[in-house]
Amino acid sequence: MGWRTSISKKPTMTQSVSRHPEIAGKIDHTLLKPTLTRMELETLCREATEWQFATVCIPPCWVTDSVRLLNGTGVGTITVVGFPLGYAHSSVKAFEARRAIDDGASEIDLVVNLSRIKSGEWHSVESDIAETVRACATIPVKVIIETAYLTQEEKTAASLVSERAGAAFVKTSTGFATGVPASGATIEDIRHLRSILRPGTRIKASGGIRDLSTALAMIEAGADRLGTSSGVTILKGLSASGAY
């Protein structure tokens, strides 16, 4: 079991976590790079356990391993569906989600079909999301609308369509957008989403959250969850570089 043998079920909180308990429990400790190794996954899960993050967010192929590593720690395993482009057919996304849940995923982060959004085909967008939501039953679905590619009007419409289709969260970004000035979450986008969504629909800010001040600002703006690969650095009050 490796690192699991030296970690208690209730790990000791560090001074940083004690100062900022509102952050640790909101972080989805994320590692979605294409070269992810088993050793890196084990490190991610160990860090999530030690710092008591909400979840780890990892590729579908690693869900069963993550669930095993995190068993009994209180940290959940989430994975992505249709990642990172959202192009797959609705039935394929639904199948991918069901398989991830069968493997033990506790939440699903679904990439919206941006091509349909940019075409203004909102009925198709809603249907696409709703099929995965139905497949997930009681498992929460976070819909990634990829704000970096959208106009303000599209952000509004995509968020409201996601909500109507049954999304538990609207999520800003995959962190993989290219050719745009800001590929991740912005304070302005979080404030906007919070102003248009119902109180019960939560918001996940993801992409570009690499320091404590940004994390606190995202929460203040209305984010309920933070997707970042820099969770440990954030809680230590430092800054990090990287893509997510």
The partner residues of 92 in beta bridges, in order of sequence, read none
pLDDT per residue as tens digits for the range 25-41: 999 999 999 999 999 99
Three-state DSSP class for residue 10 = coil
- 204 counts as catalytic: yes
- 9 counts as catalytic: no
Looking at residue 52, what is its pLDDT?
94
Q: Which of 26, 93, 155, 171 is catalytic?
A: 171
CA–CA gap between residue 58 and residue 111 (Å, rounded): 14
Looking at residue 243, what is its pLDDT?
52
Which fold does the domain 12-235 belong to in CATH?
Answer: TIM Barrel (3.20.20)
The partner residues of 215 in beta bridges, in order of sequence, read none
Looking at residue 218, what is its pLDDT?
97
Q: Which of 109, 128, 142, 189 is catalytic?
A: 109
Looking at residue 238, what is its pLDDT?
67
- The answer on pLDDT for 168 being more than 50 is yes
- The answer on pLDDT for 94 being more than 50 is yes
CA–CA gap between residue 148 and residue 221 (Å, rounded): 18
CB-CB contact of 203 with 190 (8 Å)? yes
- The answer on pLDDT for 7 being more than 50 is no
> Which residues, in sequence order, are CB contacts of 124 under 8 Å at separation 6+?
113, 116
Pick from 221, 224, 90, 218: which is nearest to 165 by CA? 90
> Which residues, in sequence order, are CB contacts of 33 under 8 Å at separation 6+?
243, 244
CA–CA gap between residue 27 and residue 231 (Å, rounded): 7
Pick from 108, 84, 87: which is nearest to 96 by CA? 108
Q: Tell me the mean pLDDT in the region 42-63.
A: 97
User: What letter does residue 168 receive in the DSSP assignment?
Assistant: S
The partner residues of 143 in beta bridges, in order of sequence, read 110, 170
Whole-structure pTM value = 0.91
What average pLDDT does the structure give for the chain? 91
